[in-house]
Amino acid sequence: MKKRFSLFNAYVWGIAGLGIILLATHIPEFQDGYTVADVIFIGVMVACGEAVAVPFPRGKGTASMATPLMFTAIVMYGPAIGMWVAALATLRKRDLTGEVPLGVVLFNRGMLTVCAYVFAKVYGLMYGGFGSIEFPRGLFAFVLAASAFTLLNAILIGQGLALQLRTSFTSIWRRNIVWMLPNMFALFPVGALMVLVVQQTGPLVLVFFYLPLLVTKVSLQKYIDLWETYSEMAAALSIALDARDSYTHGHSVRVSEYSGKLAKRLGLGDEEVELIKYVGLLHDVGKVGMSDSLLKKEGPFTYDEYEMMKKHSEIGADIIKVMKFLGKGEQWVRHHHERSDGTGFPDGLAGEEIPLGARIIACADAFDAMTTDRPYKEKMSYEEAKKELLACSGSQFDPKVVEAMVQIIDQELLRK
């Protein structure tokens, strides 16, 4: 363990050192065609890039203007100035106040310098020079150089994270990096356009690139706030429901958690995972329409009571339908008591006819019911509940979902 930790240190300081060597051997020289003020201006623009960075929903990073501006600096003013701008203009306040460890600050400088160097090398090789750019030949060189920069940047960060977290590079790459790449590549055309505009009119015009970003940032922030409101609303509803029935307190929250984990294991996309968490939270919301005597009844139901209780999935679906942001969640709530063999309710759907979301929630729901104390029965251990799920796989539950739940029990719940 100690060895890997020092490997991480060696990696961080190695990249930082490489950056320092590159900077020391590339001292900027000012030539005709641009002034020190132009370079300082573009440096300030890079520094402001973070301030207008547009956040991606659900905390998944930001689209920053800093990178395409760095590309512009390299193409217009050459490798040396480009590398110094990349290293210095990207310093943030917290890098300077000691909030971020010195090693990390220097690693980031080193990484950006190395990436800028590689960009300059590729671009220089493909295009043959700096200071002006001619389309479309220059565009090809630009995209190639920007791709090299982006990939190298992702690899260096990924490797650093892998060493720090003592995990494999591929798992970091899959979990933290891959989704980021399309966002980074999407900024290339903006970068190319910036270079073209700076070449025609000078760097001042770059200010105009910030305006649409600012507008996007404000509207995206509103969208994020709206989702937060939705999730608070869903949470409030589930708390209200659980409060009526103290025995099932926390049930909705746990079903939501298990459903999210299952959806992830089954390879559903981020949006579906997010949606199923909301719907899992509200899967029994139809019980608000049930009387207290029914909800709190200890022991078996009469036929009429059972028929009454069964209605909660349809009532729930009607409630979810009103919340347009939950989309197909309505169907998941309606069918969360269907069984794979077709003997469930309300519609007696079987196998794949039951929407996947409903099959997932059904399994999460049953697992939580088995593993929590109820007035009329003692809770089962995770091992016992696992056996029960396996015994009902194919009849009550979807075997695929049970398989994923077993993995969650073995790898996450039993290890806690």
Shortest approach of Fe ion to residue 283 CB, angstroms?
Answer: 6
365/398 with CB nearer Fe ion? 365
Q: Which helix (H) or strand (E) holds 24?
A: helix 2-24
CB of residue 335 vs Fe ion: minimum separation in angstroms? Answer: 11
User: CB 299 → Fe ion: shortest distance, Å?
Assistant: 18
Answer yes or no whether residue 338 interacts with Fe ion by CB under 5 A.
no
**How is 206-265 classified by DSSP, letter by letter?**
GHHHHHHHHHHHHHHHHHHHHHHHHHHHHHHHHHHHHHH-GGGTTHHHHHHHHHHHHHHH
> Phi first, then psi: what are they for 314, rounded to 5°?
-75, -40
Q: Helices 66-77 and 102-127: crossing angle, nearest 10°?
A: 50
Give the number of other CB atoms < 10 A from CB of residue 370: 18
Nearest residue (CB) to Fe ion, 284 versus 338: 284
Nearer to Fe ion, 106 or 401 (CB): 401
- Single out the segment in contact with Fe ion by CB under 5 A; choices: 83-91, 96-104, 282-290, 342-350: 282-290
Which residues lie below 8 Å from residue 122, measured CB to CB, with a gap of 6+?
Answer: 141, 144, 145, 148
Pick the closer one to Fe ion by CB: 38 or 284: 284
Q: Cβ closer to Fe ion: 38 or 365? A: 365
Q: Does 365 bind Fe ion (CB under 5 A)?
A: yes
Residues 283-302 that bind Fe ion (CB under 5 A): 284
Binding region for Fe ion (CB under 5 A) out of 140-148, 260-268, 357-365, 379-387 = 357-365
| One-character DSSP codes across 286-346 | GGGGS-HHHHT--SPPPHHHHHHHHTHHHHHHHHHHH-GGGTTHHHHHHTTT--TTS--SS
**Comparison of 34 and 345: residue with beta carbon closer to Fe ion:** 345
Residues with Cβ < 8 Å from 398, sequence gap 6 or more? Answer: 340, 351, 354, 356, 359, 363
- Closer CB to Fe ion, residue 152 or residue 309? 309
Number of shown-chain residues binding Fe ion (CB under 5 A): 2
Beta bridge partners of 55: 62
The tokens describing 104, both together, are 């990390």
Closer to Fe ion at the Cβ: 272 or 365? 365
Cα 205 to chain centroid distance, Å, stands at 33
Q: Point out which span in 152-160, 257-265, 279-287, 290-298 binds Fe ion (CB under 5 A).
A: 279-287
Q: Who contacts 408 (Cβ-Cβ below 8 Å, separation ≥6)? A: 258, 261, 262, 265
Q: Output 187 or 279, the one with its CB closest to Fe ion.
A: 279
> Nearest approach, Cβ of 309 to Fe ion (angstroms)?
9
Across the chain, which distance is largest between two alpha carbons, in Å?
92
* Least distance (Å) between residue 314 CB and Fe ion: 11
Cβ 251 to Fe ion shortest distance, Å: 6
Buried b (16+ CB within 10 A) or exposed e, 44-58: ebbbbbeebbbeeee
Per-residue contact track with Fe ion, 124 to 163, x per CB under 5 A? ----------------------------------------
Q: Using alpha carbons, select from 319, 340, 337 the residue that is nearest to residue 392.
A: 340
Question: Shortest gap between Cβ of 333 and Fe ion (angstroms)?
Answer: 8
The span of 145-153, 341-349, 351-359, 363-371 binding Fe ion (CB under 5 A) equals: 363-371
Strand partners, 54: 63
Residue with smaller CB distance to Fe ion, 78 or 260: 260
State which H helix or E strand residue 3 sits in: helix 2-24
Q: Alpha-carbon distance 109 to 346, whole Å? A: 61
String marking each residue 232-271 x if it binds Fe ion according to CB under 5 A: ----------------------------------------
**Stretch of residues binding Fe ion (CB under 5 A), selected from 161-169, 181-189, 280-288, 324-332:** 280-288
Closest contact distance (angstroms) between CB of 378 and Fe ion is 18
Binding span for Fe ion by CB under 5 A among 45-53, 221-229, 298-306, 358-366: 358-366
DSSP state at residue 392 = T
Structural tokens at position 325: 């942001």
CB of 331 to Fe ion, least distance (A): 14
Cα separation, 340 vs 398, whole angstroms: 6
Q: How far apart are CB 352 and Fe ion at their closest, in Å?
A: 21
The answer to whether 141 and 75 are in contact (CB under 8 A) is no
Q: Please choose, out of 56-64, 93-101, 226-234, 281-289, the segment that lies near Fe ion by the rule CB under 5 A.
A: 281-289
Least Å from the CB of residue 312 to Fe ion: 6
| Chain residues that interact with Fe ion, rule: CB under 5 A | 284, 365
